[in-house]
Structure 1
Amino acid sequence: MTTGDPEPISDEARQAIEQELDGLRTERGRVAESLAGVGGDTAGDHADRADELERAERLAHLDTRIRDLTVRLHQADLAGPARTDQVGVGSSVALRFADGSEQTLQVGEVAEALDPTLVTVDSPLGGALLGRRTGDSVHYDTPAGPTTAVIVSIGGRAKGS
């Protein structure tokens, strides 16, 4: 459901990405260091060469993930802050559910971690929220059946969140 244009991200998502990048860079340093010690000795056995290949593949995987996250942060910088006039990727949305409870959720592109306050744009609720404004009712499907919520605010916090 993303447009292909740079999308903003929430402060919480930015912090999570930056933490992940720090961990990946640390791990990359360890893996690269372990490979730097590998010489051109052809007397090594197959297990040594398999281990070297595995570490090289891990290094390539780490480089790809670091590049992807760095690009995502750059795109978020280009997009600027999340909108507060209508719901989009990166929005913080306070909702009132049919039972009267209120909760603040973050709208994200993908779930990077198990976060009960994150809804993705490809989920039923996330998709229903996109483009909506404060005061709008959204209708979406749940495993228990169709339900409705009202957008209390965009960019703020609901009571009890």
Structure 2
Amino acid sequence: MSSQPAPISSAARQALEQELSRLRTERDTVASTLRDSDASVGDLADAADELQRANDLRRMDARITDLTTRLDTAGTAGPPRDDRVGVGSTVTVRFTDGSQETFHVGETSVGSDGSLVTVDSPLGRALLGHEPGDTVHYHTPGGSQSAVVVSLGQS
């Protein structure tokens, strides 16, 4: 596996930039409540609330760092290849129970699109780089799974 960050599409870049902007605004709001709480110690509930806000701030800082690094280091992805599964591909797979589903392979999940499989999901990672006829294996919380790439297209 390459140590270079994977390129991202313009749409994914825009979604990450929007998330980053939202997180920075939320972080500023949470940080201001921490500064205001220095006036009095308060009761245990106040202390627990303060601790929760501090934890939220650390979580947001970590995500902001991750997003900033991703946006700063990733190039822009070109169109997906026609012969192998990549970001932007539409792929039909057949599962071991005989069911067949078509998915769009994307970088980020926006909303609750059931036809989207992200590249950081077990199935998404397994599909990348494969072509029709290939069997892919992946691990889920329910155990090991496999699927066959039936067909490939672009969205």
* TM-score of Structure 1 vs Structure 2, range by shorter chain: 0.5 to 0.7
1:19-63 Cα distance to aligned partner (Å, 9 max, x none): 222221221111111112122545x33332222222122111111
CA root-mean-square deviation: 3.7
Q: 1:27 to 1:132 in 2, by over 3 A?
A: same
* Rounded Cα–Cα distance in structure 2 between residues aligned with 1:97 and 1:49: 51
Q: 1:150 to 1:24 in 2, by over 3 A?
A: same
* Rounded Cα–Cα distance in structure 2 between residues aligned with 1:124 and 1:107: 12
**Among 36, 44, 47, which residue is 1:46 paired with?**
44
**1:13 equivalent in structure 2:** 12
Q: What is the one-letter code of the residue matched to 1:65? A: R
1:90-146 Cα distance to aligned partner (Å, 9 max, x none): x21133567xx99562244x768643322436534642x43346xx43334699975
- Give the TM-score taking structure 2 as reference length: 0.66
Aligned residues: 144
1:115-130 equivalent positions in 2, closer than 5 A: 115-116=113-114, 117-120=116-119, 123-124=122-123, 126-127=125-126, 129-130=127-128
**2:9, 2:76 within 8 Å by CA — same for their partners in 1?**
no
Stretches of structure 2 lacking an aligned partner (at least 5 in a row) = 95-99, 139-143
- Give the TM-score taking structure 1 as reference length: 0.64
Identity of aligned residues (%): 31
Q: 1:96 to 1:55 in 2, by over 3 A?
A: closer
User: How far apart are 1:15 and its partner, in Å?
Assistant: 2.9
**Among 133, 136, 139, which residue is 1:137 paired with?**
133
Stretches of structure 1 lacking an aligned partner (at least 5 in a row) = none
**1:74 equivalent in structure 2:** 72
**2:56 equivalent in structure 1:** 58
**2:105, 2:124 within 8 Å by CA — same for their partners in 1?**
no
User: How far apart are 1:147 and its partner, in Å?
Assistant: 3.5
